[in-house]
Amino acid sequence: MELIAIRSKEGLNIETKLNELKEKLSEVYDLEGVIALLDWDQSTYMPTGGGAARGRQIAVLEKLVHEKMTDPTLGKLLDELSPLESELPYDSDEAGLIRVARRKFEKASKVPAAFIAEFANHTAETFHVWTEARPADDFSKVAPYLEKTLEYSRQMAEFFPGYEHIADPLIDFSDPGLRTSELKTLFTDLREELVPLVKAVTDREPADDTCLTRSYPQEKQWSFGLDVIKQLGYDFERGRQDKTHHPFMTKFSLGDVRITTRLKERDLGEGLFSTIHEAGHAMYEQGITEGYEGTPLAEGASSGVHESQSRLWENIVGRSRAFWEYFYPRLQRTFPDQLKDVSLDTFHRAVNKVQPSLIRTEADELTYNLHVMIRFDLELALLEGKLAVEDLPEAWRERYRQDLGVVPPDDRDGVLQDVHWYIGTIGGAFQGYTLGNILSAQFYEAALAAHPEIPDQIRRGEFNGLRGWLTEHLYRHGAKYTADELTRRATGSPLSIDPYIRYLKHKFTQLYLEE
* Same-domain check for residues 199 and 53: no
Is 138 part of a structural domain of the chain? no
* Same-domain check for residues 91 and 190: no
* Per-residue confidence band for 108, with pLDDT thresholds at 50, 70 and 90: very high
281 among the known binding-site residues? Answer: yes
Query: Among residues 98, 133, 168, which one ends one of the domains?
Result: 133
Average pLDDT over residues 144-160: 98
Is 158 part of a structural domain of the chain? no
Is the pLDDT confidence value at 52 over 80?
yes
* Same-domain check for residues 272 and 381: yes
We report the CATH number of the domain holding residue 85 as 1.20.58
* Same-domain check for residues 219 and 107: no
Which domain, by its residues, includes 64?
Answer: 11-133
Is the pLDDT confidence value at 12 over 70?
no
Q: In what order do the strands lie in the sheet with 249-253?
A: 241-243, 256-261, 249-253
Strands (E) across 194-321 are located at 241-243, 249-253, 256-261
Choosing from 32, 270, 278, 445, which is the catalytic residue? 278
What are the distances in angstroms from CA 185 to CA 178, 421, 503? 12, 24, 21
* Same-domain check for residues 415 and 481: yes
Rounded mean pLDDT of the chain? Answer: 95
* Same-domain check for residues 200 and 68: no
Query: Among residues 113, 133, 153, which one ends one of the domains?
Result: 133
67 among the known binding-site residues? Answer: no
Is 54 part of a structural domain of the chain? yes
348 among the known binding-site residues? Answer: no
Query: Among residues 133, 150, 168, which one ends one of the domains?
Result: 133
Number of structural domains in the chain: 2
Is 166 part of a structural domain of the chain? no
Active site residue 278: yes
Average pLDDT over residues 141-145: 98
Is the pLDDT confidence value at 10 over 60?
no
* Same-domain check for residues 381 and 458: yes
pLDDT in tens, 312-334: 999 999 999 999 999 999 999 99
Give the pLDDT of residue 515.
54
* Same-domain check for residues 345 and 455: yes
* Same-domain check for residues 125 and 225: no
Is 266 part of a structural domain of the chain? yes
We report the CATH number of the domain holding residue 202 as 1.10.1370.30
Is 1 part of a structural domain of the chain? no
Give the pLDDT of residue 3.
45
Q: Give the separation between CA 203 and CA 182, rounded to whole angstroms.
A: 32
* Same-domain check for residues 219 and 115: no
Is 92 part of a structural domain of the chain? yes
Is the pLDDT confidence value at 240 over 60?
yes
* Same-domain check for residues 342 and 413: yes
Average pLDDT over residues 253-263: 97
Residues 6+ apart with CB under 8 A from 159: 110, 111, 112, 115, 169
Q: Is the CA virtual torsion 280, 297, 183, 151 positive or negative?
A: positive
Average pLDDT over residues 481-490: 98
* Same-domain check for residues 125 and 197: no
Is the pLDDT confidence value at 453 over 80?
yes
User: Using an 8 Å Cβ cutoff, are 374 and 407 in contact?
Assistant: no
